[in-house]
């Protein structure tokens, strides 16, 4: 049935349909929003990756039955 998969002209048809459906004014806004979302996701993933070993070291250093310390803010 689909022996060749997607060929370049298939992608061209899909692109034309997307432009017709969303219009040329909405596409730049959508691309900007997608780019912003990808930057946020990338920075959060990097923060989790960097924070992971530090959190593991901290939790390993604290015994389970140790009292929890609360931070108080000086207002």
What pLDDT sits at residue 75?
45
Share of the chain above pLDDT 90, in %: 24
Q: Is-contact 12 4, C-beta < 8 A? A: no
Q: Is the pTM value of this prediction over 0.75?
A: no
Share of the chain above pLDDT 70, in %: 63
Task: Find, among 21, 66, 59, the residue nearest to 30 by Cα.
Answer: 21
Half-sphere exposure of 58 (CA within 13 A, CB side): 6
Euclidean distance between CA atoms 42 and 31, whole angstroms: 16
Q: Is-contact 30 22, C-beta < 8 A? A: yes
């Amino acid at each position: 049935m689909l022996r060749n998969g997607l060929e370049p002209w298939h992608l061209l048809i899909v692109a034309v349909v997307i432009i017709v459906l969303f219009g040329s004014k909405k596409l730049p806004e959508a691309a900007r929003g997608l780019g912003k979302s990808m930057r946020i996701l990338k920075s959060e993933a990097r923060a989790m990756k960097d924070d992971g070993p530090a959190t593991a070291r901290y939790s390993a250093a604290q015994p389970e039955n140790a009292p929890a310390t609360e931070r108080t803010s000086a207002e």
